[in-house]
Copies of this chain bind each other. A is one copy, B any other.
């Protein structure tokens, strides 16, 4: 798929630059390990789908936005796995970065990826200042404090948790940034797209909580039951399995309905359909009882419309 190859090629380029001489050899290997092979590349996929829907006016800028989002995501995964967070030995079916390269390298790779994210977009500032200003703002909001990934991870250690703020910061914020940056890079109006990103991001958070509660470690490629074990806030704890599945379907349906009218609307609809199938496959529903079937079917109908 053309989108995938754009993402991988752009990532390869910035990784090559960051790992070139005089980069220390161990750090360079760890940076490559953190980025390749990737997971679903969902966030950069959303970014490029939105950019295309908006006309894809400046593909190189859209690529930069897409990989910036992915690099921030990769950094957050590394940190999530560290001993002082989830202490996870596995990620994407292989050793987590600190297990393979040590904690010091893991922390430094996180830093390097965050810097690479801002650097990728900054490279286009002189040519597209207004767009880059907006993209950089969106990335900073999604990554830092008070309401980005750093804040999202921090909520997990707070005595009292604002669940909505936690979920937004931990997951939805970066999806929002992906949609906003994609729209801006593509030549569109970002406001309408922000909501699409936020809803898909919220759906991912629910799916992640569900996967943690239900999944098999081998399938997910990471340890399960972390939320319960760590007494972490979780949608499943609040709504139960069935309630969480209903919520997931609702969010995906709302995301689909939020897509603004535009020429390339179809590319985002298709992207959301694929994402929905990945997030809520039929086997996830096997535990649902008959009385919930109707509601779920309605919601599912909305997603697949």
Point out residues on A near B: beta carbons under 8 Å. Answer: 17-28, 31, 75, 79, 82, 84-85, 102-105, 107-112, 114-116, 118-119, 122-123, 125-126, 129-130, 132-133, 136-137, 140, 143-151, 153-159, 162, 165, 169
Contacts and interface: CB of A to CB of B under 8 A. Distances in A.
A173 B229 CA distance: 43
Contact of A136 (B105, B118, B150, B159): B118
Contacts of A18: 144-146
A240 to B, nearest CB: 26
B112 A150 contact: yes
Contact of A133 (B112, B125, B149, B157): B125
Given A25-B158, A151-B23, A154-B26, A145 B31 contact: yes
Contacts of A144: 18, 111-112, 115-116, 119
Given A19-B145, A125-B133, A133-B122, A24 B151 contact: yes
A28 B126 contact: no
14 contacts: A19-B146, A22-B165, A27-B150, A28-B146, A79-B108, A111-B144, A111-B149, A111-B150, A112-B151, A114-B115, A115-B143, A122-B122, A126-B130, A129-B129
DSSP majority for the A interface?
A: helix
A19 B103 CA distance: 27
Contact of A22 (B21, B132, B162): B162
Number of copies of this chain that the complex holds:
2
User: When A and B form their complex, which 3 residue pairs have the shortest distance between CB atoms, in order from nearest?
Assistant: A115-B144, A23-B146, A129-B129
A22 B153 contact: no
B111 A26 contact: no
B105 A154 contact: yes
Given A17-B146, A79-B107, A115-B143, 15 more contacts: A20-B146, A23-B146, A24-B162, A27-B145, A27-B158, A28-B145, A111-B143, A111-B149, A115-B150, A118-B136, A118-B140, A119-B137, A119-B144, A122-B137, A126-B130
A137 B150 CA distance: 23
Contacts of A136: 118-119, 122, 125
A278 B209 CA distance: 54
Contact of A122 (B24, B27, B75, B140): B140
A27 B157 CA distance: 9
A156 B104 CA distance: 10
Given A104-B153, A122-B137, A154-B24, A148 B115 contact: yes
B84 A154 contact: no
Given A122-B133, A145-B23, A84 B107 contact: yes
Given A22-B147, A24-B158, A79 B111 contact: yes
